[in-house]
Amino acid sequence: MDRHILVINAGSSSLKVRLYPLGADGRPGPHRLACQMAGLGGRHPHFDLTDGQGHPMDPPHGTDGLAAVADHGGALDRLLGCLEALEPKPRIVAAGHRMVHGGGRYVAPLRLDRASIRDLETLVPLAPNHMPHNLAAARALAERRPDLPQVGCFDTAFHETLPPEARELGLPHAYTERGVRRYGFHGLSYQSVVNHWPEETGGPLPERLVVAHLGNGASLCAIKDGRSIATTMGFSALDGVPMGTRSGAVDPGALIYLMRTEHLDADGLERLLYTRSGLLGLSGDSGDMEDLLAAGTDRARHAVTVFCSRVAGAVASLAMALGGVDALVFTGGIGEHAAPVRADILVRCAWLGVRADDAANAAGGPRLTAPGSPVAAWLIPADEEGVIAAETARML
């Protein structure tokens, strides 16, 4: 039986897995299967199964009993059952997990065992909306396959190269020494862009690159010679540009004012900033960019305009950090699929030397700018799972 790597990405109410075959050289090839179970704990959970080309497949055990799947353990049972039914049956030799936060300690892939998982639990306060679910999936798999090696790959690790001036907040330095500093996120996505640049563009990685990972969560990164030197997310995944339901950067004075006038405690403020803000708060209707582009209402258009304006402003700031910019990349769900959003941002970046090609952008690229544009813009799909598979294979 062929050896395979299982890649797991656990969210608050979802579990996504991909199955990667290992070649004779020990490196993962293109994924063979992708499974996703969403809506865990809700009334209408749903299950998606696709092959390596993205074609839908029928779940081998049907969809009966989905409503009874309430947690990551139950979802994992369901997904593992699909893998067991494959012909030929894959031999899974390791599993890799997306871990959103590695703190200042974990800057490389980590073998996950009881001790390391217990230590990672101390980082939950740094990413309370992500790490509990990442760790729950690792624990659930360890219970079911205690013999299977597991590896954690960290979204923060790519940003370990941030210089001191890009890490420190404007707080007393004692807090920095206690870990209250800028970390940055979406590192697995940024690493995938660096990895795939030559094959996607046909050229060498430019010295000065700005990558915009735009999705329900969104951030941008300045990459110099393949290394992160500045990014829009900071201590938490709340910072930077507005997102689906997250606020992005907000004047701390406004937060103090709201806590006093709205009588918000820390939990209330957290709910406001994580679940009621961003595109949802601006539009008053939806945090989904596709919905807003289709709605055509004044508030929907306003929310999209604010988003595009903030992203373009972030591009300008990151260009300053790089001392100029050679290329701009769009990735993530919005970056890859929302041509009107890309078009708006490209126009706002014209002063940097971006000469948009409207037809190429509408067609989905991959190159989004006209020949001879001083700054080239590209669409490169995010492949976080591919990065995790490769890192996990290297740990074997």
Asked if residue 108 belongs to a domain, the reply is yes
What does the DSSP assignment read for 108-141? S-EEE-HHHHHHHGGGGGGSTTTHHHHHHHHHHH
Q: Assess contact for 45 and 35: CB atoms under 8 A.
A: no
pLDDT confidence band for 78 (50 / 70 / 90): confident
Assess whether 115 and 243 both reside in one domain.
no
CATH number of the domain to which 41 belongs: 3.30.420.40
Mean of pLDDT values over 129-148 = 94
- pLDDT of amino acid 309: 99
Residue 70: pLDDT over 70 = no
Q: Assess contact for 152 and 116: CB atoms under 8 A.
A: yes
The H-or-E segment that residue 336 falls in is helix 332-337
Residue 125: pLDDT over 80 = yes
Residue 69: pLDDT over 80 = no
Q: Assess contact for 34 and 50: CB atoms under 8 A.
A: yes
Beta strands in 300-380 (DSSP E): 327-331, 376-379
Q: State how far the Cα of 201 lies from the Cα of 181, in Å rounded to an integer.
A: 35
Q: What amino acid positions are annotated as catalytic residues?
A: 155
Token pair of 142 as six digits: 């360890």
Residue 65: pLDDT over 60 = no
The residue with greater pLDDT, 53 or 212, is 212
Assess whether 125 and 209 both reside in one domain.
no
Assess whether 109 and 228 both reside in one domain.
no
What rounded mean pLDDT belongs to the chain?
Answer: 93
The H-or-E segment that residue 213 falls in is strand 208-214
Q: Assess contact for 82 and 19: CB atoms under 8 A.
A: no
What are the C-alpha distances in Å from 386 to residues 8, 34, 188, 278?
11, 12, 9, 29
What is the tens place of the pLDDT at every residue in 331-381? 999 999 999 999 999 999 999 999 999 999 999 999 999 999 999 999 999
Beta-carbon contacts of residue 319 (< 8 Å; ≥ 6 apart): 208, 210, 222, 325, 352
Range of the domain at 22: 3-154
What is the tens place of the pLDDT at every residue in 302-322? 999 999 999 999 999 999 999
- At 234, which amino acid appears? G
- pLDDT of amino acid 41: 61
Neighbours of 129 (CB within 10 A): 18
Q: Among residues 119, 137, 154, which one ends one of the domains?
A: 154
Assess whether 220 and 338 both reside in one domain.
yes
- pLDDT of amino acid 1: 54
pLDDT confidence band for 42 (50 / 70 / 90): low
Asked if residue 263 belongs to a domain, the reply is yes
91 - beta bridge partners? 3
- pLDDT of amino acid 330: 99
Q: State how far the Cα of 105 lies from the Cα of 70, in Å rounded to an integer.
A: 33
Assess whether 258 and 364 both reside in one domain.
yes
- pLDDT of amino acid 179: 94
Q: Assess contact for 206 and 154: CB atoms under 8 A.
A: no
- pLDDT of amino acid 161: 98
Assess whether 211 and 321 both reside in one domain.
yes
Assess whether 148 and 215 both reside in one domain.
no
What does the DSSP assignment read for 23-90? -TTS-B-S-SEEEEEE-TTSSS-EEEEEETTS-B---TT-STTGGG--SHHHHHHHHHHHHHT-SSPP
Specify the DSSP class assigned to residue 22: B
Neighbours of 205 (CB within 10 A): 16
Structurally, the chain folds into a number of domains equal to 2
Mean of pLDDT values over 242-267 = 97
Assess whether 33 and 145 both reside in one domain.
yes
> For the whole model, what pTM was predicted?
0.94
- pLDDT of amino acid 58: 76
Q: Among residues 154, 182, 211, which one ends one of the domains?
A: 154
Q: State how far the Cα of 54 lies from the Cα of 308, in Å rounded to an integer.
A: 30
Residue 28: pLDDT over 60 = yes
- Dihedral Cα 194, 200, 205, 206, nearest 10 deg: -110
Asked if residue 304 belongs to a domain, the reply is yes
Burial class (CB in 10 A: 0-12, 13-18, 19+), 337: middle
